[in-house]
Each structure stands twice: as structure tokens, then as C-alpha cells.
Amino acid sequence: MNNPLLQAKNIIKTYNEDKIRTNVLKGVNIDIYSNELTAIVGKSGSGKSTLLHILGTLDKADSGEIFYKGEELLKLSDKKKAVFRNIHLGFVYQFHHLLSDFSALENVMMPMLIAGINKNEAKKKALELLEKVSLSEKANSRPSELSGGQRQRVAIARALANSPELILADEPTGNLDEKNALMVFSLFEKLVKEDKIAVVIVTHDNSLSEKCDRVYTMKDGIINE
Ligand code: ADP
Ligand code: MG
């Protein structure tokens, strides 16, 4: 049995808003393995996005521990968390969040330029990534000139820019028709199989989650496999 890439233990998260307490995560335990496509399912409002943000160190838990290759993440300073995210993680959301004034190629280059990679190298890698998501011919198109599925594939190429080991995808197919949803899902399957990237996908679509290697269900603030 191999060790989990990421292991969360007893994660507790409560929101306090307008004097209303919402106990969203009541002690969540979850293991994410390399070479696996992991699904997180559960009703709307059950805390899936909250959990994903905490696993990705974008949001703070009230208590609990998150180990990444055995290293405790929640103890890191905010600065170190940001460095950790840049090196190890890729994020994909329901809405693509591409920059509308930039081409597909420039959008994929952006995280590399921010990370200090020189322009020629960033361009070369971005072209390879667009090829990986079967969009080479759209390199110079703006997001407005692409279909929803194509935009989402550009967003995935962008998430891959700094060669992450783990991709966290929050309802990445939620906005797509069945055909495009399948295409995006197949791409995640390929990343897991061919590139040994761990992918966590939040989805409402049972036909997709049942094809995943591991499925966790959020309910009443806890998660079960
Ligand atoms: P899901 O992604 O499963 O739909 P969320 O994690 O978005 O669920 O939300 C879980 C619960 O936490 C919901 O009841 C939601 O209203 C509440 N919630 C989420 N974010 C906040 C916030 N920033 N402040 C207050 N309550 C929040
Ligand atoms: Mg959500």
C-alpha cells in the first residue's frame, strides 16, 4: 500500500456570519493518492468547495492537520503556503477565469511568466500544453472565440503550467454539455494515467464519479469513501 500524497485529518471548519454558525466540516478525513482520479460528491451546500479550498491551502481550517508527502501544511506561514501552491498545485474551477484580453497561449504562459520563467521557454511549454489538451490550432484565439469546453481545456492547460503534482478541480464540468464534459473528464483521466498527476474532481455527475478510482461523499459535515 503506497502512502497518500495528501492526507487531511479531522478538519473542522465553522463559518460565523450574521451571528449564524454553520458547522460545515465536522471532522473530515480524506486521503488523496498519486496516480488516482479522486471524486468528491455531495449535495449543494454540503461543504465540497470549502474542503477543496482548505486542502489547497487557499482557506484556513479551524483545526485539523493536512500532510503533503508527510509535511504538515497548516503550520506553514502564508508566504510558504503560496510558494507550496505555486510549486505543487493546479486549480480548475467551474468558470474558467481566463483573462479575456489575452490569447489562449498567453493565458497558459501567464503562470510561468509570474514564476520567472523566460518568455521563450514559457511559450514553448505553453504550446506543448495546448497540444496536450488538443487545442494547438486555437493558440492565438481569445477566450471569447472559444467554446465553453475549449475554454475549460485552456484553463486545464494553464493549471498544468508549473507542472503540478496535484490538481484540484471544483465542478470543472458543471457548466458544460455532456459531450464537452466527457472531453474534459477524459483529459483528467489522461493526466492521471500518463503523467501520474493526482486529480481531485468535485462533481454532481454520477456517470463521471463512477469512473473515478476513489469516490468520497460529503454528508452532514463528514466524508465517507
Ligand atoms: P458546496 O461546494 O458543497 O456546495 P460550500 O463549501 O460552498 O458547499 O458551502 C458549504 C456551506 O458553507 C454552505 O452552507 C454555505 O452557505 C456556507 N458557506 C460557504 N462559504 C461561506 C462563507 N464565506 N461565509 C459563510 N458561509 C459560507
Ligand atoms: Mg461548491
* pLDDT digits 0-9 by tens, 173-182: 998 889 989 9
CA of 172 to the centre of ligand 2 (A): 11
Q: What is the pLDDT of residues 33-73, one digit of tens each?
A: 998 999 999 999 999 999 999 999 999 999 999 999 989 99
The protein residue whose alpha carbon is closest to atom 19 in ligand 1 is 50
Query: For the whole model, what pTM was predicted?
Result: 0.93
Q: Which of 225, 201, 219, 222 is nearest to 12 (CA)?
A: 222
Question: Probe ligand 1: pick from 14, 44, 50, 219, max atoms within 8 Å of CB?
Answer: 50
Question: Probe ligand 1: pick from 28, 49, 223, max atoms within 8 Å of CB?
Answer: 49
Positions of E strands within the chain: 6-17, 20-32, 37-41, 63-68, 71-72, 89-92, 166-170, 198-202, 214-219, 222-224
CA of 65 to the centre of ligand 1 (A): 20
Q: Which of 70, 76, 64, 48 is nearest to 168 (CA)?
A: 48
Confidence (pLDDT) at 18? 85
